[in-house]
Amino acid sequence: MLVRKGIAVFCQKCGKQIPDGATFCNFCGGQQGVVAQAPPAPGYPPQAPPGYPPQAPPGYPPQQPPAPQHPAAYAPAGSKELKCSSCGAPITPQGGLTLITCDYCGTATSLGTGGWSVIQKHFMLDNRIDQQVALETGGKWLDQGILRRNVAKNAELLEATLRFVPYWIVPTSVTADIQGLKGTGQVNLGGGQSAGHTAAKIGLSILAGAAAAAAAQRGGRVQMNQPQPVRVRDRINVFYNIPVVGVRGYTKYQPDDGYTFNVQGKTAYDKKKTGGVETLDGDVTEQEANQFAQSLAQKYAEKEARKRVDTLESFVPYFQQSPGELLHAPVWFVRYNHKAKKEMYILIDGNASKVIDGERPAASLW
């Protein structure tokens, strides 16, 4: 029987304090007794009546999968050996790691200021593609663009590896007050506009210059109306589910252009669903992930602001972050050699079959 002193709970075998609700002791691994639930009150129905709870109306968004419930705390930060509070298996923190997944049941634990604690919101995405589909997806991405031809055909494949990589998904909203000039006629190369839109602006400028030169040769005069810039003050509101890779050495796995995972398709983490594929632990704390997510959110919001003006003069952001969650995502890492000159890589989302990020030659026509 568990001994309770207020909210403190102690192991019935070794007597050390353990998390409330732990099935196994973190220190000795002893299984704890099961406390019998109180019987229902007389006359009270033991089950909910038919039709309760009410069904959601048609078209209502489906509910998110419930997060696995685990004890709230593990052991002090200096602990060298732990026992999984969910299954009792041994856990040995490696040097520098702050995020560990139990090899037996998949329960994730994180090291914070208060010691090791269970991550209550731990999800995963299923891998839905094999190596062949991953290579086809990467090959199509390599050949995109009018200045790229047969890049995939001429590439030498060096590696194609699938891993389940931990990402902190940080919901971040940005409200920004912006001020700038619109109608200046300048081409905003840093505004995140499409290549076609930017090319159209450059083309119009070239045509206008050519027309002026032709008129000058004929001795005529061309009257060109100088655009009158208008000062714009606006406020933008944007929201991002920013993924931050949880492994410090895996910088190439960090999306840098606004890519987001399909978190609507997530399920509660189950190590059995990985199919034996390598599952990485991490060394990035949730607090560090929040800080990095904020810097990315500012970058994305500023990019959005530049779409609304030709010259951005002022950008004042305000951030708000909601509690994040841990997501193990299937990522194909494809490494290749381009014309035996430079080694490059591609990251492919194994759940959505989309390119997350990568490297490719700026131009390759033969």
- DSSP notation for 146-159: TTB-STTTTEEEEE
- Within a domain: residue 320? yes
**Residues 213-268 pLDDT 10s:** 555 566 655 555 667 889 999 999 999 999 999 998 899 999 988 899 999 999 99
CA 54 → CA 44, 48, 60, 61, 152, distances in Å? 20, 11, 13, 15, 53
- Within a domain: residue 181? no
- Within a domain: residue 49? no
**Statement to judge: residues 171 and 268 lie in one domain:** yes
**Statement to judge: residues 349 and 267 lie in one domain:** yes
Residues of the domain holding 163 = 131-175+233-358
Q: Locate 6 and state its tokens.
A: 């207020």
Question: What is the pTM for the complete model shown?
Answer: 0.65
The answer on pLDDT for 185 being more than 80 is no
- Within a domain: residue 202? no
**Residues 307-353 pLDDT 10s:** 999 999 999 999 999 999 999 999 999 999 987 778 999 999 999 99
- Within a domain: residue 247? yes
**Which pLDDT value is given to residue 220?**
55
- Within a domain: residue 206? no
**Statement to judge: residues 146 and 280 lie in one domain:** yes
**Statement to judge: residues 143 and 291 lie in one domain:** yes
The most confident of 24-33, 210-219, 357-366, by mean pLDDT: 357-366
The answer on pLDDT for 90 being more than 90 is no
**Statement to judge: residues 100 and 157 lie in one domain:** no
